[in-house]
Amino acid sequence: MDFKLSATERDIQQAAREFAEKEFPDVAREYDEKEEFPMPVWKKACELGFVGGFIKEEYGGPGLGFTGSAMIMEEFWRVDPGMGNLLLTSFGSEIIQNFGTEEQKKKYLPLIPPGKAITCCAVTEPDAGSDVLMASTTAVRDGDEYVINGGKMFITNGSIADLAVVFCLTDQKSGDRYKRHSFFIVEKGRKGFEASQLKRKMGIRASDTSELSFNNVRVPAENLIGGRENDGFKQVMYLFNINRLVAAAQGVGVAQGAFEKAVQYIKQRRQFGKAIASFQGVQFMVAEMAANIEVARNTLYKACWMIDQGKFDPMIISIAKLFAGKIAVSVTNDALQLHGAYGYLGEYDISRFYRDAKVVEIYEGTREIEKLTIAREILGRA
Ligand SMILES: Cc1cc2nc3c(=O)[nH]c(=O)nc-3n(C[C@H](O)[C@H](O)[C@H](O)COP(=O)(O)OP(=O)(O)OC[C@H]3O[C@@H](n4cnc5c(N)ncnc54)[C@H](O)[C@@H]3O)c2cc1C
């Protein structure tokens, strides 16, 4: 066992930290308040090679693997979660890289790292959340095309994306719910395809979240991912597993950032004639926060390392996501508590971190769904 980061991993971590610390703090509050995607900062992140980190070199990406990509996400979320989500502009490209035809990979993947295209991945619908196989947006073959009808909900980057990777029902009659869905690439500008931003989210407001509608949208048959219908179940499960680690990295990052803010604050804030850091009750909170972050980070890195070694383990992935979400919420809560009323009033950025952290327990599988996955790995489909 070797717990040391490689020289490359240390370099990635350092570069991501420097970029986020330079680019985010001055503008984070403004983008949060405006509920606007930070386009100029995203462009710089593309130029420096942070976007689409896991895209392989043969398709124009930096080929950092999942450990390297998770480290960038962690560092970005450490400085600001809403801004950090600018990295999600490659969302859906995991599906293209792992399941697309060679033509699809060559056509779309090289556009993503340099920022020539923003992608989104549309699975969730108003009535299909945790139960993704209830998705009822249909894609019906018509000659050399498919015609898509339906709607998607809560889609990250939906309003700013150039390409959507959309989960559709392609077999409406099959009794086997695991063999009814397929993914399609839908380009922006196709007639009948519209997106509208959902406003007033609790947190990560610099990240675009949108509702999509498809009204007789026609796409060429070659936009069917992998060229085969009804393979969507295994593809969507792969997507969730990969992106659970992205979310886990976010959880570790926001917890680390909040923790550092709290430590700094309690050393300078004085009550009863002393720095509040000197009170044992406060020290116990600090110790608990540090212990939780350390365990969450180790589990995250283990899960990423396993994927990079070709060992795909849904149980360790779900444990990493479940625990990172839990500590993201508890650490930001404690960090705000330690700031007292100044934290509550938004004098410091800690209240934004507190609002941002909650999403880690919701998207890419709620904490309850993670528990179901873990239990299923232990007990089987009881
Ligand atoms: C900011 C944001 C961005 C998002 N981005 C995307 C995106 O880019 N693409 C996309 O496709 N989706 C996206 N989502 C949607 C997200 O993945 C879903 O919200 C999530 O899967 C949960 O679905 P739901 O909200 O419909 O909750 P529901 O499934 O309705 O769940 C509601 C509650 O019931 C619980 N529950 C449900 N089923 C069970 C069960 N079997 N056992 C125990 N408890 C259960 C859940 O845990 C939860 O607590 C995003 C969501 C948010 C908030």
The Cα–Cα gap between 265 and 269 comes to 6
- Which run of H or E residues covers position 264? helix 232-268
Report, at the CATH architecture level, how domain 234-379 is classified: Up-down Bundle (1.20)
Distances (CA, A) of 187 to 106, 142, 194: 16, 18, 11
Please spell the DSSP secondary structure of 171-205, one letter per residue. Answer: -SS-S-GGGSEEEEEEETT-TTEEEEEPP--SS-T
103 is catalytic: no
**Catalytic annotation, pick one of 75, 211, 364, 370:** 364
What CATH fold (topology level) applies to the domain 119-230?
Butyryl-CoA Dehydrogenase, subunit A; domain 2 (2.40.110)
Strands 145-156 and 209-220: antiparallel
Q: Where in the chain is the domain with CATH 1.10.540.10?
A: 7-111
Compute the distance from residue 77 Cα to the ligand 1 centre, in Å. 21
7-111 has CATH 2.40.128.130 classification: no
Residue nearest to atom 43 of ligand 1 (CA): 368
Q: Where in the chain is the domain with CATH 2.40.110.10?
A: 119-230
The Cα–Cα gap between 194 and 158 comes to 9
Averaged over 144-148, what is the pLDDT? Answer: 98
Q: Where in the chain is the domain with CATH 1.20.140.10?
A: 234-379
- Does ligand 1 have an atom closer than 6 angstroms to the CB of 54? no
Longest Cα separation, the chain: 79
The Cα–Cα gap between 36 and 27 comes to 11
Weakest mean pLDDT among 32-46, 60-74, 144-158, 215-229: 60-74
Tens digit of each residue's pLDDT (9 = 90 or more) over 233-279: 999 999 999 999 999 999 999 999 999 999 999 999 999 999 999 99
Q: What is the pLDDT of residue 354?
A: 98
Q: Is residue 291's pLDDT more than 70? A: yes
Q: What is the pLDDT of residue 65?
A: 87
Pocket test for ligand 1, best of 77, 154, 371 (most atoms within 8 A of CB): 154
Binned at pLDDT 50, 70 and 90, residue 2 comes out as confident
Please spell the DSSP secondary structure of 115-148, one letter per residue. Answer: TS--EEEE--BTTBSS-GGG---EEEEETTEEEE
Q: Is residue 381's pLDDT more than 80? A: no
The Cα–Cα gap between 379 and 382 comes to 6
- Does ligand 1 have an atom closer than 6 angstroms to the CB of 212? no
The Cα–Cα gap between 275 and 5 comes to 35
Averaged over 219-233, what is the pLDDT? Answer: 98
- Does ligand 1 have an atom closer than 6 angstroms to the CB of 240? no
The Cα–Cα gap between 249 and 339 comes to 25
Q: Report residue 109: phi and psi, to 5°.
A: -60, -40
- Does ligand 1 have an atom closer than 6 angstroms to the CB of 363? yes
- Does ligand 1 have an atom closer than 6 angstroms to the CB of 15? no
What percentage of residues in the chain have a pLDDT greater than 70?
99
Q: Is residue 382's pLDDT more than 70? A: no
